[in-house]
Structure 1
Amino acid sequence: MAPIVSEEYKEKMKSKILNSALECFAQKGFSTTTINEIGAHSGISKGSIYNYFVSKDDIYLELLNRATENDKIDITKNFSKLRSSYSKISFLFDVFLTLDPFEPKRAGQNVVFYEFTFHCTRSKRLLELITDRGNFLVNLIKETLEKGQEVGEINPNIDTQVYAHKFWLILDGVSLQTIYKDFPYYDVLSEMKEMYLEEIKHK
């Protein structure tokens, strides 16, 4: 009879696998990392890893899902402290202005994220799953802008759907440019923030 494994133990094992996988992905890239390498890094056998995840794709999707849930919690908590839509948009820009995109671990995670995004274009199932995350992020900005329009704070003439996408395009654009170590990330993002906020402000 197989021993009973507690949920706490299962979660501990899953977290260990996920943490090791993220480090391996950041060091070697998503495509070239193997389950064997994740197992060697985590000290967990390949067979045991398959007890928790059916594939390397599923490992990364779980990492992405957890990151999304953490983002939702953090954003909701901080948004509740801010009264205006304008200040909420400004706050989100500032979140990225306080990050260090050149820090090796964060830089590696960014590379893995974009690498996996392109990887997903080859799979309809994967593309649908990461599109759900994208929709959450876009809708977050769209709904914030719409609430601001309702109270006369945000420019009523802007297309909130377009400007929601524009917000994330700005952030994706500056994040991608950080592959160049001399890219003036903070200066460019600060300038883009001021331009964006000026455009959405109800004059």
Structure 2
Amino acid sequence: MAPIVSEEYKERKRQEILQSALACFAKKGFESSTVDDIVSQSGLSKGAIYNYFKSKDEIYLALMDGQTKESGTKFSKAIAERRTALEKLDFLVDAYLDNDPNEFDNKDQALVHFEFRLYSTRNPELKEVLTERYKDFFVELLTGIIKEGQEAGEFNIQLEPATYADIFWAMVNGVTLQATILNDYAYKSILKEMRTMFVEKLKA
């Protein structure tokens, strides 16, 4: 009879695989990394890895899902503690100011994320997953803050919240991409200036 394996044990092994995969993706790039690389990094067998994940794509999506849930919990708690919509918006920008891709600990992760996003454009199923994640978490989060600001009289009631949520994330993703691919990019000062411009446009 096969030994009984606890859920805690399975989750621990799953996390080992995910962290090993992230290390491989950061070192070699997503497309260049293989399951054999993850096997070597983790010390687990290929069969053990396939017992948890069907493919490299599924591993990355699990990584992304975990990060989104972690960010969602953190953001939701912090946003709920802030009184005004503008304070909530400032918190989000500050969170990205603290995640400068020029810094060593952040650059590899940013590279992996952008590489996977480009890779997903050639795969309709992956593209759909990323699109739904973007709408359900990122756009919904900003839309809620902007609507709250409009109801409180902080923001212009004539503006379309979903459109400005898209503008916000285009701003954040754009400056992050520039900092990822260019040398000596003034990420923080540019993002701060973008925040000023964005808030001026939102104000009632």
Q: TM-score range by the shorter chain?
A: over 0.9
**From 191, 194, 197, the counterpart of 1:192:** 194
- Provide structure 2 residue ranges, at least 5 long, that are not aligned to the other structure: none
Give 1:66 deviation, angstroms.
0.3
Q: Which amino acid counterpart does residue 182 of structure 2 have in structure 1? A: Y
**Matches of 1:174 and 1:90, distance apart in 2:** 16
Report the aligned-residue RMSD.
Answer: 1.0
Give 1:157 deviation, angstroms.
2.0
User: 1:176 maps to which residue?
Assistant: 177
Cα contact 1:85–1:144 (8 A) shared by 2: yes
**Matches of 1:84 and 1:99, distance apart in 2:** 23
Give 1:96 deviation, angstroms.
1.0
User: 1:21 maps to which residue?
Assistant: 21
**Matches of 1:197 and 1:76, distance apart in 2:** 21
TM-score (norm 1): 0.96
- Provide structure 1 residue ranges, at least 5 long, that are not aligned to the other structure: none
**Matches of 1:6 and 1:41, distance apart in 2:** 24
Give 1:112 deviation, angstroms.
0.8
Give 1:50 deviation, angstroms.
0.2
Cα contact 1:145–1:154 (8 A) shared by 2: yes
Partner of 2:51, secondary structure, is coil
Give 1:100 deviation, angstroms.
2.9
Bigger shift: 24-33 or 113-122? 113-122
- Per-residue CA deviations over 1:148-199 (Å, capped at 9, x if unaligned) read 1112111112221111000001111110111212111111111001111111
- Per-residue CA deviations over 1:121-172 (Å, capped at 9, x if unaligned) read 1222211111122011011101210121112111112221111000001111
Cα contact 2:100–2:187 (8 A) shared by 1: no
Alignment: residue pair count: 202
Identity percentage over the alignment? Answer: 44
Cα contact 1:146–1:160 (8 A) shared by 2: yes
User: 1:121 maps to which residue?
Assistant: 121
